[in-house]
Structure 1
Amino acid sequence: MTTFKVPTREEVNPSNQQIFDKLRDTVGFVPNLYATYAYNDTALGDYLNLQNRKSTLKAKEREVINLVVSQVNECEYCLAAHTAIGKMNGFTSEQILEIRSGKASFDNKLDALAAFVKNITLNRSKPAPHALEKLFEAGYTKANLVDVIMVIGDKIISNFIHGATQVAVDFPAAPVLEEVNV
């Protein structure tokens, strides 16, 4: 089995070294998954540009998407990272677990979003008509739909990179979701 060592600052190109430095300054460390992108000379910068692009979605909405997609894809790394980020965005531990299941009973709009994201991810890009209708009924627009799909794609990239590399998770482990209806 191929083992992936997390690249160090000294092992990546100068462009990625600058990104590592910026991450250390802003986040306090270089997350292992981000460092893994740096095996490629441009992927880390490209990914961060995608992740930080201007969006019609609020931070909490993006975290709902990140949590649901990571749960569907069973990405231990992204679940750990986005559990921590979800808490920083004001979600409680109980809310995060519920979101991961594809629900958010504490907020009607986020509930429609979580259900839609779970549905379209499970159905491999083809949402059930009722899921899309509920998303729009909750107040989301066509522009929001495009942004939702952009965030789903962003998270699938990370889920797949971790799934293939299995680099060590450097965030506190996410609790196990007892009832996974995936």
Structure 2
Amino acid sequence: MKNYSVPTREEVSPANQSIFDQLNKGLGFVPNLYAYFAKNETALGDYLTLQNRKSSLRAKEREIINLVVSQVNECRYCQSAHTALGKLNGFTEDQILEIRGGSATFDPKLDALAAFTQSVTINRGKASQKAKEAFFAAGYTEANLIDVVIVIGDKIISNYIHNLTGFEIDFPIAPELVEIEN
């Protein structure tokens, strides 16, 4: 079985070293996911451009999408990273667990977003009519729909990279989501 390693700054191209320096300055470290992208000459810069694009969605809404998609795709790295980021965006631990399960009953608009995101992701773009209707009824627009799909695509990229490689998670490990049986 292949062991996938995360490169150090010295092991990446000068262009990626510059990005590492920017990440260190902004975040205080280079997350392993970003470092792994640097094994490719252009992937890290391309991915960060996608992540940092302007959006019609607020940061809190993008975190909901990140949490839901990471749960659907069973990516422990991204569940952990976005649990930390979700807390920075004002969500409690209990709210984060609920969001990962595809709902946000504490806020009707965010609840519609979580359910819509889960339906889109599980059904590979063919969201249920109910989820689409609730999304638009909550006040979201077609411009928002496009941004939701772009954020889902962004998160699928990182989920798949980690699910394929399994490199070390460098965030506090998110709790497992426990299904409650009725």
Equivalence for 1:73: 73
User: What do the CA deviations read for 1:153-180 (whole angstroms, capped 9, x no partner)?
Assistant: 0000000000111110000000111118
User: Given the two structures, how large is their TM-score scaled by the length of structure 1?
Assistant: 0.98
Please identify runs of 4+ aligned residues in structure 1 that moved more than 4 A. none
Equivalence for 1:104: 104
Equivalence for 1:37: 37
Equivalence for 1:145: 145
User: Given the two structures, how large is their TM-score scaled by the length of structure 2?
Assistant: 0.98
d(CA) in 2 for partners of 1:69, 1:77: 12
d(CA) in 2 for partners of 1:57, 1:24: 26
**Secondary structure of 2:120's match?**
helix
Shift of the alpha carbon at 1:124?
1.1
Q: What is the RMSD computed on CA atoms of the aligned residues?
A: 1.0
Check conservation: 1:102, 1:115, Cα contact below 8 A: yes
Equivalence for 1:90: 90
Aligned length: 181
d(CA) in 1 for partners of 2:153, 2:81: 17
d(CA) in 2 for partners of 1:60, 1:110: 9
Equivalence for 2:28: 28
User: What do the CA deviations read for 1:30-71 (whole angstroms, capped 9, x no partner)?
Assistant: 000110001100000000000000000000000000000000
> 5+ unaligned residues in a row in structure 2: which ranges?
none
User: What do the CA deviations read for 1:80-111 (whole angstroms, capped 9, x no partner)?
Assistant: 00000000000000000000000000000000
> 5+ unaligned residues in a row in structure 1: which ranges?
none
User: What do the CA deviations read for 1:8-47 (whole angstroms, capped 9, x no partner)?
Assistant: 1011001100000000001000000110001100000000
Check conservation: 1:101, 1:180, Cα contact below 8 A: no
